[in-house]
Amino acid sequence: MNLSTYTIKPKLPPALKPLEEIARNLWLSWNYDAVQLFIRLDFDSWLQSQQSPVRTLGMASQERLAQTAKDDSYLAALKEVYDRFQQYKKGETWYKGSHKDVVAYFSMEYGMDTSLPIYSGGLGILSGDHMKTSSDMGLPLVGVGLLYRQGYFKQMLNADGFQQESYPENDWYNMPVERKTGRDGQPLKISVELAGSQVIAQIWEVKVGRSSLYLLDTNIEENTPDIRNITAALYGGDKEARMQQEILLGIGGIRALRALGINPAATHMNEGHAAFLGLERIREIMTEKGFSFEEAREAVWPTNIFTTHTPVPAGNERFDIAMMEKYFRSWPQILGISWKDFIGLGRIHVNDERETFCLTVLALKLAAYANGVAKLHGEVSREMWKELWPGLPLNEIPIGHVTNGVHTRTWVSSGMLELLDRYFGPHFEKKPTELAIWERMDRISDEELWRTHERRRERLVVFIRDRIREQYRRTGAVERRIRQAEDALSPYALTLCFARRFATYKRGNLLLRDPERLLRLVKDHDRPVQLIFAGKAHPHDMPGKELIREIIHFAEKYDVTSRIVFVENYDMSVAKYLTSGGDVWLNTPRRPMEASGTSGMKAAMNGVLNCSVMDGWWDEAYDPDIGWAIGHGEQYQDEKLQDDVESKALYDLLERDIVPMFYERGRDGLPREWIKMMKSCMKQIGQSMSCHRMLMDYSNQFYFPALKNYRRLIKDDYAEAKSLAGYFDKLYQSWGDLKIFRLESNARPVMQRGDLLTVTAYIDLAQLSPDDVLVELYHGKVSNQSNEIMDAHRSEMKWIKTEGALNLYQIRFECSDTGQQGHTVRILPKHDALVHPYRSGLVKWA
């Protein structure tokens, strides 16, 4: 069929022209007055468009547009919003440096607004908040991802409560994305080789305030049907589909930026999905400069940042060697290395032929900077990946942490934001990095805060009733059952929310373990408790789907469907109602399997109190003044015992603390103790878990150093990278011959505090010079149990002289700590260009 295609845009009257620019920039997703413009324009179209501003413009009739263009009240509101939008784009920002070189942020998914459904859950929402906050702060950062034709699935529950999936097609021409074109006006395209086939991808741009997100799309005529399907669905398909998507994201993403004229001076891999970008960056430099693999690797390593989100080995992407051979057989030749060395880049044990290829390992080997997403997750990650740095103490494994945060103006409800803006002043919006402004929470009266929160709970109840009614109608429920939805939940009852991905380790059914205790709480006439559940199970996760069904069956079995409800199709819209309208946010994962979690942060900033296992972000944020902890951070071998203990602890908290505090009212009807806790919670979490704090951490710890490394490296045509590669070549050849022959010290069995201790090391440096190595005294308190040094101090030893074939290093220090102390000596790499001295296999102990 010979089909001609073209795009038709709405014909807006001149007075409404600014609406199109606002609709196509996701700045509106965190500015409710901008959203209100589209609701006011045509409410019916807004609902039918599923809250899509671009589609609303297309659905509104020309008569309605003409009528609105004459409405002076509407035009005044439009002018006010548009002026603020322009001021935002031109205004002063936290970052004041150059935008010539950028950090390219790669993620598999981005959750920024319901009108752009290319996200599944936490990872995507975090990426979306990352982009929004980058815009607020004016950072030199661009996002890179994939444009999914179907996005993630839409969840529907059948009459039996079993999850079913549908995959609606996205209509990009009615969404806030714009296809990028070249100077010839034709779509800009890049190509990537996949197992002998050329894949062509076009590039789309999403404007996010001041920032841009670029998305790759293979659904074009030049590609065969199977290749067009590469960007069909997020996390859809089999292992091979994942491989294809990850090659397109990593390798194609770098090529897309080049095609756009953007220089990715530093790259941030958000999870291992984008790890192949490291290979493409190495290939680029080898091609341009004629460098060897090792030289190009040293040029890229100091400018790569990697964030891991997965605290369990099984969650890290692995491919068998046959799959790697199919897609990467030509790469060793391109990189000038052996097949064994190439596969070794993705293996912990490079000589283990049975080990698969792991993208997390590849990312860790190619990035100078690595982090987990919470303090506890940093500890878990160092334990998980310690074998990559054999011989290095756990606390020195070069994986740090930056605790996740959330974008405040996206997730705090419009009513609460209005209240905060009034009391916090204009700096709250215009200078979002000034987090101490949350200290002003105490200025807000208890009455105003509680009234605002109660309105949110009322709106939540109305929203849930509507959703349940729709759910019942769709599943063919009888009229009596549909009418029951009118009575579901109470706008005055203590409301507990549990909303997250339904994976078994998150234990969505923990509260159901003792039906008698739960029903006593739910059916209490004077102090009732109600529960709202929401969340999707992965389409292939049958145990997760059974959890959802178990909750629905429980409510029906005990006739409490008006007090325990499950809302289908959890997305950003549902999340905003739950995180702002509930009273308590429940989180019950098996510690330490929750890397961070962010939904509880969103709830906390709305004054919703957390009741959670000490895992993820709550492990570092918990304070008795802001919420409740289930347990004390214990970890169990016996999962059944853990479930028993922690479910009982949860019932105890509800019965003894949470329910009494919520219902204890003064003569004015206010729960003063509860409100006091809300204020403390908002004050603390608003500061510590803000995405602006997170981006300041990323910028100061990783982005700015990586960009500085890049600018230093490109001087003298990457001379420093060549020098570093030559240095490591020499180091690896000589490392096996390095020997610490003996240590001498003036230590006595008993020393006095203040005594001076002198330690001398006699070292055979083989073919290396004293300038090539860092010789350290490693000293501190010795554990009676493990006979190891705990909380060690490291002090560089000074080269003194050569005695024959040996080099003498010495240090003198004062004995300051009491108790059992010990010391030893170790050797590490030393070079001015090193970001850190911790390279795999390069630590030598006495």
Q: What is the DSSP string of 599-652?
A: HHHHHHHTTPEEEEES-TTHHHH--TTTEEEESSS---S-HHHHHHHHHHHHHH
Tell me the pLDDT of the chain averaged across its residues: 95
Q: What is the rounded average pLDDT of the residues 143-169? A: 93
Residue type at position 415:
G
Question: What pLDDT was estimated at residue 784?
Answer: 80
Is residue 270 very low, low, confident or very high in pLDDT (cuts 50, 70, 90)?
very high
List the Cα angle 392/394/398 in 5-degree steps.
Answer: 75
The pLDDT of residue 77 is 97
Q: Is the pLDDT of residue 294 over 80?
A: yes
Of 52-66, 521-535, 775-789, least confident by mean pLDDT is 775-789
Distance CA 52, CA 49 (A): 5
Q: Is-cis flag, bond preceding 592, omega within 30?
A: yes
Query: What's the rounded Cα separation, in Å, for the pair 293 and 728?
Result: 13
- 3-state SS record for 663-713: HCCCCCCCCHHHHHHHHHHHHHHHHHCEHHHHHHHHHHHHHHHHHHHHHHH
Q: HSE of 439 in the Cβ direction (CA atoms, 13 Å)?
A: 4
Pairwise CA distance, residues 260 & 268, whole Å: 18
- Evaluate whether 211 touches 191 at the Cβ level (below 8 Å): no
- Integer Cα distance of 376 and 364 in angstroms: 19
> 3 pLDDT band (50/70/90 cuts)?
low
Tokens of 686: 């608003």
Q: Is the pLDDT of residue 103 over 90?
A: yes
User: If DSSP states are collapsed to H, E and C, what string results for 478-514?
Assistant: CHHHHHHHHHCCCCCCEEEEEECCCCHHHCCCHHHCC
pLDDT value, residue 401:
98
What burial class does residue 6 get, using C-beta atoms within 10 Å of its C-beta: 0-12 exposed, 13-18 middle, 19+ buried? exposed
CA distance linking residue 763 with residue 175, whole number of Å: 66
Contact 541, 440 (CB under 8 A): no
Between 482 and 401, the higher pLDDT residue: 401
Q: Is the dihedral of CA 320, 282, 253, 191 positive or negative?
A: negative
Q: How far is CA 259 from CA 14, 210, 214, in A?
A: 34, 21, 11
> Which of 692, 649, 846 lies closest to 759, judged by CA?
846
Confidence (pTM): 0.96
Residue 787 confidence class, pLDDT cut points 50, 70, 90: confident
What does the DSSP 8-state code read for residue 133? Answer: H
Q: Look at residue 701 and tell me whether its pLDDT is greater than 60.
A: yes
> What are the φ and ψ backbone dihedral angles of 210, each rounded to 5 degrees?
-85, -15
* Cα end-to-end distance, the chain, whole Å: 76
> In degrees rounded to 5, what are phi and psi of residue 366?
-105, 0
Please name the residues in contact with 361: beta carbons below 8 A apart, sequence gap of 6 or more.
Answer: 345, 346, 347, 348, 385, 388
pLDDT per residue over 50-100, tens digit each? 889 999 999 999 999 999 999 999 999 999 999 999 999 999 999 999 999
Closest CA to 635 of 651, 626, 646, 625: 646
Q: Residue 642, by phi and psi: left (phi above 0), alpha (psi -120 to 50) or beta?
A: alpha
H runs (alpha helix) in 263-374: 277-289, 293-300, 321-328, 331-335, 339-344, 359-366
User: Residue 804 to residues 348, 739, 768, 811: CA-CA distances in angstroms?
Assistant: 39, 14, 15, 20
Average pLDDT over residues 326-343: 97
775, 763 contact by CB (below 8 A): yes
Residue 6 predicted with pLDDT over 70: no
Identify residue 65 by its one-letter amino acid code: L
Contact 373, 404 (CB under 8 A): yes
- Mean pLDDT over residues 298-313, rounded? 95
Q: pLDDT at position 672, please? A: 97
Tens of pLDDT along 122-152?
999 999 999 999 999 999 999 999 999 987 8
**pLDDT tens figures, 544-563:** 999 999 999 999 999 999 99
- pLDDT over threshold 70, residue 498: yes
**pLDDT exceeds cutoff 80 at 786:** no
The 8-class DSSP code of residue 797 comes to: P
Q: What pLDDT is stored for residue 171 in this prediction? A: 85
Element (H, E) at 731: helix 719-735
